[in-house]
């Protein structure tokens, strides 16, 4: 069996998008209840090519192109899930998930609770998020924390091809609604992905890199940037430990707490805006735990600026954390320059 970092004998390299597609193909072949629905997921193969070829393989009744109606996509997923199907919906850009908030927040998230567990909503809503493609303010947002705030929803953010496949398969098999957030810049990144079907539990953080001087909790694309920063810092004798929560809700906080107890310093890195962002939750978990007594410095948040994502490429890059900003902040923390 592969480990949680994707290491496995005979593992192949796939892109993040290919890993998602393989996971979808395998579970659709295994379980007739699984189907895809969304704008351009069929004939076009998805806005970022994730579902390419699946309509040819499984037909138009299981890979369904919809009108431009995010509320309709979410509603169809909820209704079909209640009747025994396992839908995988796609919202083309996370920004447009706002149109489906009533269906997700007032219906999908609450039905199982309100019916005492007699009804379940086993649906996955996939959505590309994040900046870096020059898509401007209405196509570049990271809204994951909106859904973390809603009891009844699970929120997943894979950062690697290995995690993308394993977490997607777990999400589809889960009996609760899952918001599955994919970063647009990750689709072409490559990594080891075993051919067999495998799952990653939806509440299992991953210690991506071991270190002793600083704990860095990073999500999505920021995991890759933190790893690049770690290589730079290692040349200066600074070893940072990087933890990827993978599932934001429910959160596996134990590895984070144990790491902070070891390093005595912590920083959270995410792309979404700082105010009301997920970093605040991680900071609270740390300071409310036994790790608080081990802290040697304030816990830092490195996040997006509190502005809409600009269209101008230079401004866009400077709106969200980059490798160098992670290096600079980590160096300050480790060297006591906070």
Which helix (H) or strand (E) segment is 222 a member of? helix 221-234
- In the chain the beta strands, taken as DSSP E runs, fall at 12-15, 34-38, 63-65, 86-90, 124-129, 154-156, 178-183, 190-193, 206-209, 214-218, 240-244, 247-249, 266-273, 300-304
Catalytic annotation, pick one of 22, 39, 70, 281: 70
Task: For residue 70, indicate whether it is catalytic.
Answer: yes
Query: CA–CA separation, 168 vs 18, rounded Å?
Result: 12
Name 57's bridge partners.
none
Q: Name the residue among 133, 121, 250, 252 with its Cα closest to residue 184.
A: 133
Query: CA–CA separation, 44 vs 189, rounded Å?
Result: 21
Cα dihedral angle (135, 139, 140, 143), rounded to 10 degrees?
180
Catalytic annotation, pick one of 18, 22, 90, 139: 139
The residue assigned the tokens 């007594």 is: 293
Alpha carbons within 13 angstroms on the beta-carbon side of residue 157 total 29
Instruction: Give 54's contacts (C-beta < 8 A, 6+ positions apart).
Output: 21, 24, 25, 28, 36, 41, 42, 45, 63
Alpha-carbon dihedral sign for residues 247, 252, 253, 254: negative
Query: CA–CA separation, 106 vs 125, rounded Å?
Result: 15
Tokens (6 digits) for 72: 């309709």
Task: For residue 13, indicate whether it is catalytic.
Answer: no
- Count the neighbouring beta carbons within 10 Å of the beta carbon of residue 195: 12
- Count the neighbouring beta carbons within 10 Å of the beta carbon of residue 327: 21
Q: Name the residue among 42, 41, 34, 65 with its Cα closest to residue 172.
A: 34
Active site amino acids: 70, 139
């Amino acid at each position: 069996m592969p480990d949680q970092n994707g290491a496995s004998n005979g593992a192949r390299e796939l892109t993040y998008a290919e890993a998602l597609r393989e996971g979808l193909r395998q579970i659709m072949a295994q379980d007739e209840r699984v189907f895809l629905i969304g704008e351009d997921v069929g004939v076009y193969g998805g806005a970022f090519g994730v579902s390419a070829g699946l309509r040819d393989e499984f037909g138009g009744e299981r890979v369904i192109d919809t009108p431009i109606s995010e509320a309709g996509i979410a509603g169809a997923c909820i209704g079909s899930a209640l009747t025994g199907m396992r839908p995988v919906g796609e919202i083309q850009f996370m920004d447009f998930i706002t149109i489906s908030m009533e269906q997700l927040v007032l219906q999908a998230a609450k039905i199982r609770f309100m019916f005492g567990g007699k009804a379940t909503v086993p649906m996955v809503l996939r959505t590309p998020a994040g900046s870096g493609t020059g898509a401007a303010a209405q196509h570049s947002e990271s809204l994951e924390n909106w859904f973390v705030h809603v009891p009844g929803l699970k929120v997943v953010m894979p950062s690697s091809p290995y995690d993308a496949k394993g977490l997607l398969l777990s999400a589809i098999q889960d009996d609760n609604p899952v918001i599955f957030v994919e970063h647009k810049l990750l689709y072409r990144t490559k990594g080891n992905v075993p051919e067999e079907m495998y799952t990653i539990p939806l509440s299992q953080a991953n210690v991506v890199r071991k270190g002793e001087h600083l704990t860095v909790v990073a999500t999505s694309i920021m995991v890759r940037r933190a790893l690049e920063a770690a290589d730079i810092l290692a040349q200066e004798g600074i070893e940072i430990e990087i933890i990827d929560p993978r599932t934001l809700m429910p959160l596996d906080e134990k590895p984070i707490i144990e790491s902070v107890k070891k390093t005595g310093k912590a920083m959270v890195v995410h792309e979404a805006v700082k105010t009301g962002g997920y970093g605040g939750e991680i900071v609270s978990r740390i300071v409310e735990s036994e790790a608080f007594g081990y802290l040697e410095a304030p816990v830092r948040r490195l996040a997006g600026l509190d502005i809409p994502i600009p269209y101008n490429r230079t401004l866009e890059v400077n709106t969200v954390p980059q490798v160098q900003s992670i290096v600079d902040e980590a160096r300050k923390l480790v060297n006591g320059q906070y």
